[in-house]
Copies of this chain bind each other. A is one copy, B any other.
Amino acid sequence: METLRVGMLGAGTVGSGVARILLEEPDRIVRRCGRRIELTRAVVRDPLKARDEVFSRVPVSGNPRDVLDAAEVDVVLELMGGLEPARTLVRSALQAGKDVVTANKALLCEHGEELFSAAREAGRTIAFEAAVAGGVPIIHVLGQSMAANQITAIEAIINGTSNFILTDMFRNDAAYDDAVRKAQAMGYAEADPSMDVEGTDAAQKLTLLTLLAFGTRTRPEQFQVQGINTLELADLKYADELGYAVKLLATAKLLEGGLEMHTQPTLIRQGRPLATVEGANNMIALTGDVVGQTWFSGMGAGQMATASAVVSDLIDVAVGRAQLTFPHLDVWGAHAPVPLQPAEQAFRRYYLRFNVEDRPHVIADITDILGRNSISLASVIQHEAPEPDDVPSGAAPIVPLVIMTHRTTEGQLRRASAELDALNCLRRPKVCLPVSD
């Protein structure tokens, strides 16, 4: 079979990892797909900028048309990231009759509908294993291995940065800010970590997983997204005391009322596989109506884990598998997609932490509000406050009060929360995290 010729858009960290595999392991590639895969050229924003020496062996230019218009490019590998010009270039590549491999979850989350349709019209394929959970082949799993199943639940730790920060806070008694700086120093977090720590990155990945699993097109604005940037070490410690680990969990569950979907720091009972995920690892727990519960775990990001996924996509294109799989993915909105359940109907347990004045009737005031909103309590932690002698005279000491509720709806919790905000015995922050049992 003829060589598969790849044109690369963007030649950064992942790109150099991909180039390295293709250039250094040609025999392995031929063994896996029966043909060579050749990186014929790369396009970058600034061809004069210093880059990985592997690109000394690949023609590099600054003009995307060198890839899009080249007859000697069969597959366009989009590794630029961001929305534009990635969107325009991917569309052009498809229209020029080229298959596309991409690691760009933001692009597919924002413009997937348009790009998937453009691919179908052009009779081409988009492969995107690397867009979610890097080294964990969850797109393969959803698109092929679970094909006998209706997926009924996804619970996923899919932001390695957040999980690294939470692990560091808990293991090393680190404050949030210190853990972020450490993650940045180690290359796990960007200079501006907001996409990761605010939950947006995980939410974007969740929209791709739910599209594949349920055919449901969503955007992060349509469901509850909360990041780890409001967490304190105290919450991780209280959760541990209660028998839980706190993880940024992206969740989608198929319920009678529709799809329950949210991305939030969540208490997960210790001993469950999701609670054991440490550092920058990812884990996706999938439940299928036939297979039951399954778990998939590995490095969710990083140069080589992502490059592994990209190259597996290139091999799938070279073999012809990707072209067979793509038309049957549930990404076309054709099969009566499951609607989103209104956020207020989510029915869960919650962890609440209040900073309260240590004076009579405070617990009564709080539990009265919860009780009137039909929220019953599973457990309460209030450790001893410092003796009054140790705090400024006159002021009541401020002490943390932690409450685990029984199951209640998000709507009831929000009503109670508004009433609680009006209590003058409460100090910020008020923390509210869901529980996954």
Docked complex: A287-301 residues within 8 A CB-CB of B: 288, 290-299
Q: For this complex, into which size category does the number of interface residues on chain A fall?
A: 35 or more
* Residues of the B chain whose Cβ atoms lie less than 8 Å from the Cβ of A17: 290
Check A328 against B147 for contact (C-beta < 8 Å).
no
Q: How far is the CB of A21 from chain B (nearest CB, A)?
A: 6
Check B150 against A290 for contact (C-beta < 8 Å).
no
**How far apart sit A79 and B294, CA to CA, in the bound complex (Å)?**
23
Given A321-B144, A328-B31: A295 and B292 interface contact (C-beta under 8 Å): no
Q: How far is the CB of A339 from chain B (nearest CB, A)?
A: 18
Asked if A38 CB lies within 8 Å of chain B CBs, one says no
Q: List 6 A-B residue pairs with CB atoms under 8 Å apart, sorted by A's residue number.
A: A137-B141, A144-B315, A144-B321, A148-B312, A290-B304, A321-B324
Check A330 against B296 for contact (C-beta < 8 Å).
no
| Chain B, residue nearest A272 (CB) | B276
- One complex includes copies of this chain to the number of 2
Contact of A308 among B28, B146, B271, B327 (CB under 8 A): B146
Asked if A10 CB lies within 8 Å of chain B CBs, one says no
Asked if A325 CB lies within 8 Å of chain B CBs, one says yes
Given A31-B335, A315-B147, A327-B34: A292 and B305 interface contact (C-beta under 8 Å): yes
| Chain B, residue nearest A329 (CB) | B32
**How far apart sit A230 and B1, CA to CA, in the bound complex (Å)?**
54
Chain B CB within 10 Å, residue with most, of A283, A290, A305, A307: A290
Interface residues as binary, A267-293 with B (CB distance below 8 Å gives 1, 0 otherwise): 000010100100000010000101111
